[in-house]
Amino acid sequence: MLVFVLILLLHGFLLHCLMGLPLILCLVVLRSVRAFRHGADWMLFLFCRVALAVYETCFGVRFVFSGDCDVRHAEESKRILIVSNHPSRTDWMWLFSFVTRFGSLQHLKIALKASLRQMPVFGWAMQLSCFLFLHRDWQEDEPHIRALLSYFADSRYPYQLLFFPEGTDLSPSNLQKSREFASQTGKTPLRHVLLPRTKGFSFVAGVLRERRALDGVWDLTVAYNPPSTRPSEADLVADRLPREVHVHARHFAVDALPSGEDEDGLARWCEQRFAEKEERIRRFVSSAQTQTQSQTQTQTQSPTTTQCPSLQSAGGSASEQVETLCCSGGGDSVSRTNAPVLLLAALFWLLAGYMFVVFSAFRWCAVARSFFVILCIDAPCRVVLTCVCVCAVH
């Protein structure tokens, strides 16, 4: 896993370096901002699909989607706000799988804390892809948010803006702070989600609706199985991936939201959604624990097929559509059989390109020829690797 993470870092860095020059030429020489934006979006799309192929095909993470999982929503809602709970610091990465199938991954934009923009490689790529960085200071964030939303509205850009109203992940310390704040303000303390910070959501939804640049809202509820799983960046490197990722989706047309001028109404709407998430996840956790106890009691008996708990069964109506995607056998050891093949292929193509670069630099001592070798040798190899990873996603 560590080897592939390093390969992925090098892949993303060089992919953006190699493709960044043509994009800069489009912007500076041709003065084509539209071409620049489309090129940057496709760069992000290719990189995200590589990551998606890694944890679905190679490492067998199983995804369970329930609720309004209909591709027609993606066709009807080109400009959409995605609202989700934030149980771990890597939720945005797992949601690539949902956006790929029921949205537009190449147009995905994520609201993140501003410190992440300084991250090497990934921070630069996110800036290039026009992500929304927040300082958690309204006086500083408000003009920046308005400027970015105005850009989306004026350019008719088909954005998919992923927004976490909780503002941070569900760590024990953050949960304690949220419960203390709920007690101080007379609100009901929550256990499985944090109290949402409604000001940012109300402002974003209000501005977009006022500019007639919002087609709908995806309300996503994310949970992991086992329920105690909270994957972090260190877990990804150490190969401690979640066995199952559950995503329950509800789609709201823009007319179903309170008016953009009614910020209090939008705030109440957001709080109601998170109250529903709390109840849904509570039932999901209870169902998962009951199933675990049942499996433990019958461990000595003949193996039987058991249905995994889902957020759909944890409080959903019977009319909601359920779609379950089982990627690469559901996370057992058999699902990892493709990993060595893809790892060797990736390593071969990357090393081939890097060897040509090093040999050309020492032999000819010419930066121009080195760059030429990168374009002619390394870039096609990288494209082949990316195509393999893209095709590996079901």
Span 271-299, average pLDDT:
84
pLDDT in tens, 130-169: 899 998 889 999 999 999 999 999 988 899 999 999 999 9
The confidence band for 297, taking pLDDT boundaries of 50, 70 and 90, is low
The correct CATH number of 20-293+307-338 out of 3.40.1350, 3.30.70, 3.40.1130, 1.20.120 is 3.40.1130
Can you give the residue ranges of every domain in the chain? Answer: 20-293+307-338
Span 207-212, average pLDDT:
91
Measured in degrees and rounded to the nearest 5, phi and psi for residue 34 equal -65, -45
Three-class DSSP category at 63: strand
- 93 close to 354: Cβ distance less than 8 angstroms: no
Alpha-carbon torsion angle 86, 104, 81, 188, nearest 10: -30
Considering the chain, what is the average pLDDT of its residues?
75
Question: Whole-angstrom distance between the N-terminal and C-terminal Cα of the chain?
Answer: 21
Q: Between residues 361 and 103, which one has the greater pLDDT?
A: 103
Span 22-48, average pLDDT:
71
Amino acid at 249: A
Among 79-88, 146-155, 378-387, the range scoring the smallest mean pLDDT is 378-387
| CB within 8 Å of 371: residues ≥ 6 apart | none
User: Which two structure tokens, joined as six digits, stand for 36?
Assistant: 């620049």
pLDDT at 41 over 80: yes
Most confident residue range from 65-74, 97-106, 375-384: 97-106
Among 10-19, 123-132, 206-215, the range scoring the smallest mean pLDDT is 10-19
Q: Which residues pair with 218 in a beta bridge?
A: 82, 251
- 102 close to 219: Cβ distance less than 8 angstroms: no
Span 245-249, average pLDDT:
92
Q: Between residues 231 and 351, which one has the greater pLDDT?
A: 231
Q: Is 184 exposed, middle or buried (0-12, 13-18, 19+ CB in 10 A)?
A: exposed
User: Which two structure tokens, joined as six digits, stand for 136?
Assistant: 């958690």
Alpha helix stretches (DSSP H) within the chain: 2-28, 33-53, 71-76, 91-102, 122-128, 138-154, 172-185, 198-210, 233-237, 263-297, 339-364, 367-373, 379-392
Q: Between residues 327 and 84, which one has the greater pLDDT?
A: 84
DSSP string computed for 209-244: HHTT---EEEEEEEEEESTT----HHHHHTT---SE
**CA–CA dist 282, 279 (Å, integer):** 5
Cα Rg of the chain, angstroms: 22
pLDDT at 336 over 70: no
The confidence band for 219, taking pLDDT boundaries of 50, 70 and 90, is very high
| CB within 8 Å of 340: residues ≥ 6 apart | none
The confidence band for 201, taking pLDDT boundaries of 50, 70 and 90, is very high
Share of the chain above pLDDT 90, in %: 33
**Angle made by CA atoms 99, 104, 108, in degrees to the nearest 5:** 75
User: Which two structure tokens, joined as six digits, stand for 77?
Assistant: 């809602």
Most confident residue range from 114-118, 236-240, 348-352, 354-358: 114-118
Among the listed residues 307, 263, 239, 276, the one whose alpha carbon sits nearest the alpha carbon of residue 55: 239
The confidence band for 260, taking pLDDT boundaries of 50, 70 and 90, is low
The confidence band for 232, taking pLDDT boundaries of 50, 70 and 90, is confident
Span 114-128, average pLDDT:
80
